[in-house]
Structure 1
Amino acid sequence: MRGLLSIVYGVAAYGLGMGALTYFIGFSGNLLVPKSVDVGGAGASVTHALAVNVFLLALFGLQHSVMARRGFKDWWKRIVPPAVERSTFMVATSVVLALMFWLWLPITQPVFWRVENSAGVALIWGLFALGWVLVLVSSFLIDHFELFGLRQVFARMKERPVPETQFRTPLLYRFVRHPLYAGLLLGLWAVPVMTAGRLLFAAGLSIYILIGIAYEEQDLVHAFGDRYRAYREQVGMLIPRLRSPRVTAEVHSAEETI
C-alpha cells in the first residue's frame, strides 16, 4: 500500500515539476503565458518591485541550494521516506516557482538591448530554444526519471534498492561538465529584448547557478574523489575547453573505464 501511495505521490510530483518547468520557459521568454517576467503586475514602484523580485530570487536560491545538498538530504531522509525525498524536493521547488510566477513584478525600463532585425531576432530565439533543448537532453543523459524522482518511487513499489549513482560522462558531458546549466544560462540570456526586470531575473538566477555548481562539485568530489578531480581538470565547466589531441585522448581513454 505504501509503495502504491509513493507512486501516486511521485507521479503527481513529476507532473507538477514538469508543469512548473514548462511555465518557467514561457515566463522567462514572455511566451504564451498570461503573466511573465515582463508582463502583468503593473503599478508597483521600481523600489517595491526590486525588493519583491530580489526576495523571490533569494527564496528560490535558498530552497534549491539547501535541499539539494548532501548533508540536508541525509537529515531530511530521517523524516521523509528516501523513496519520495526527490519527489518532495520537486514539490517544494514547484511551490517556490509558483510563488515567483505569481508575485513577480515587471520592471520594463530601462531597456538594455532591443534586437529588431528579423534575422537577429530569429537567431536569438534559436539560441533560446537550443538552451532549453540542452536542458532536456542533459536531463535524460544523467537519468531524467531519477532526477525528477520517478525511478525512486517505482523502485520502492518493486521493493528494490535504487542503484547507486555512477560516475559517467555520456555525450555532452565529454565536452562540458554541466551542459544542463549551460542550457539554462543560454535560455536565460538569449532574448531579443532585455529589460531591467529581465536583467535582474537572468543575473539573479545565473549567480545562483554558479554558486550551485560550486556546491555540487564539492559533493561530486566527495562522492567520486580523484576520478572527478581528473575530469574537472580536463573538461570545461560550461564552455568546451580547447585541448591538445594528447589530452583529449587521455580523457576519452579514462571515460571508457568509468
Structure 2
Amino acid sequence: MKPTKSPGVNILNRIFWLILNLLFGGFTALTLLIWVSCDMEMPTFFFPLLTSSPFLQSVFHLRWFDLQLTLFHKILFNVCLFGLFGFVHTFFARDDVQRYFITKFLFPSIGLRTFYLILTNLTAWIMMGFWQHTSIQLWDFLSNPIFEIEYRKHKILLTLFSIINLPGMLVIKQFSILQFFGVKQIFQPSSCLMNFRTTGMNKLVTDGMFHYCRHPMYLFLLVGYILSPCVSLDKFLFIIYAIGYLYIAIPIEEKKLEVIFGPAYIAYKKCVPAVLPRFEKKNKLV
C-alpha cells in the first residue's frame, strides 16, 4: 500500500477537528454501548444532568417515534437500522474509501478518524432513536420491588456490563486510548506519511488476550450483553444482528491487516480463532 502525504493543516484546522471530536467523536460512541447494556434503554440517571437543555432531553429520550408496526415488521425495520449502522461502520473503514477522501478531496488525514467516528455515531443515534421496541421481556431478574426505581436498575445493569468489559478496556489501552478515539491523530505532524489506517498499531500483537482470540474486544462486548440480569427480545435480537454482522465485518477488516502485516498475520489467523477463544498451551505464535 503506497503511503500518501497528508495535506498541510494549521492550528485552526486542528482546533476545529478537536472540537468536532469532543462533541461528536469517539467518546459519544459509548452511548450505544450504554443503551444496549441497559436493555435498549437510555439510563434515566442521565436526564437530571440535562435539565438545562430541552433539546438534549428530547434527544436522549429514546425512542423518538413509535411507528405502530406489527412484531414482524418491527423486527424487519430494526434489521434495516442495524444494517445501515453496520454498513457505515465497515464501509468507511476501508482503505480504498479513506484513500479516495484524502486524494480526491484533499481530506486532512488528521481528521479522518474523527470523520469516521462522527458518521458511525450518526447512524448509531439513528438506530437508537428509530428502534421499534417489541415490548417483550425474555428475562428480568431485577423485577423485584427493591429495584422499582428505574435509575437503580440501570445503574446495576451498567455496572455489571462495565465489570465484564474491563478486560476489553485494557485492549483499547494497549492500542492507545487517544489514538482509538481519534484525538492523537489530530496533533500528529502534517508532514507525516499516512498508511490510511483509522486506528491501530504498527506492530502485530499476539500475546495476552490476543493469544486466545483475534478480536477480544468483540468477545467481551457480546459476553457483557448476554450475561445480563435483564434481556428483552430487542436486546437478544441485537446480539443476533451483531453476530451476523461480525461474520461479514471481520473478514473485511482482516484484509486490511493482512496487507499491513503480511504473512505474519496470515499465520496468526491460522492459529487463533476470531472471537470464540481457544484455550491451549501457550506457544509463541509469531
Q: State the TM bucket, normalised to the shorter chain.
A: 0.7 to 0.9
Equivalent residues in 2 for 1:1-258 (5 A)?
A: 2-15=9-22, 16-28=24-36, 29=38, 30=41, 32-33=43-44, 35=61, 41-42=65-66, 44-45=68-69, 46-78=71-103, 79=105, 80-109=107-136, 111-115=137-141, 128-156=161-189, 159-161=191-193, 165-169=202-206, 171-244=208-281, 248-251=282-285, 254=286
| Aligned-residue offset at 1:86 | 1.2
Query: Which deviations, in whole Å up to 9, do the C-alpha atoms of 1:88-129 show, x marking residues without a partner?
Result: 1011111111212221121112x33344699xx999877622
Distance 1:184 1:12 in 2: 28
Distance 1:4 1:49 in 2: 47
Give the root-mean-square deviation of aligned CA atoms: 3.1
| Aligned-residue offset at 1:138 | 1.4
Distance 1:168 1:234 in 2: 14
The 3 A distance-change label for structure 1 pair 11 and 125 is closer
The 3 A distance-change label for structure 1 pair 154 and 116 is closer
Indicate if the aligned counterparts of 2:64 and 2:129 stay in contact, CA closer than 8 A.
Answer: no
Distance 1:194 1:229 in 2: 37
- 2:3 counterpart residue number: none
Indicate if the aligned counterparts of 1:178 and 1:237 stay in contact, CA closer than 8 A.
Answer: yes
| Aligned-residue offset at 1:31 | 5.4
The 3 A distance-change label for structure 1 pair 211 and 116 is same
The 3 A distance-change label for structure 1 pair 249 and 54 is closer
Give the secondary-structure state (helix, strand or coil) at the position aligned to 1:2: coil
Indicate if the aligned counterparts of 2:25 and 2:181 stay in contact, CA closer than 8 A.
Answer: yes
Indicate if the aligned counterparts of 2:27 and 2:181 stay in contact, CA closer than 8 A.
Answer: no
Q: How many residues align?
A: 243
Where relative contact order (Cα < 8 A, 6+ residues apart) is larger, the structure is 2
Bigger fraction of residues in helix: 1
Letter of the aligned partner of 2:32 in structure 1? F
| Aligned-residue offset at 1:14 | 3.2
Distance 2:125 2:20 in 1: 14
Indicate if the aligned counterparts of 2:113 and 2:181 stay in contact, CA closer than 8 A.
Answer: yes
Give the secondary-structure state (helix, strand or coil) at the position aligned to 2:283: helix
The 3 A distance-change label for structure 1 pair 43 and 215 is closer
Indicate if the aligned counterparts of 1:113 and 1:194 stay in contact, CA closer than 8 A.
Answer: yes
| Aligned-residue offset at 1:162 | 6.2
Distance 2:207 2:94 in 1: 23
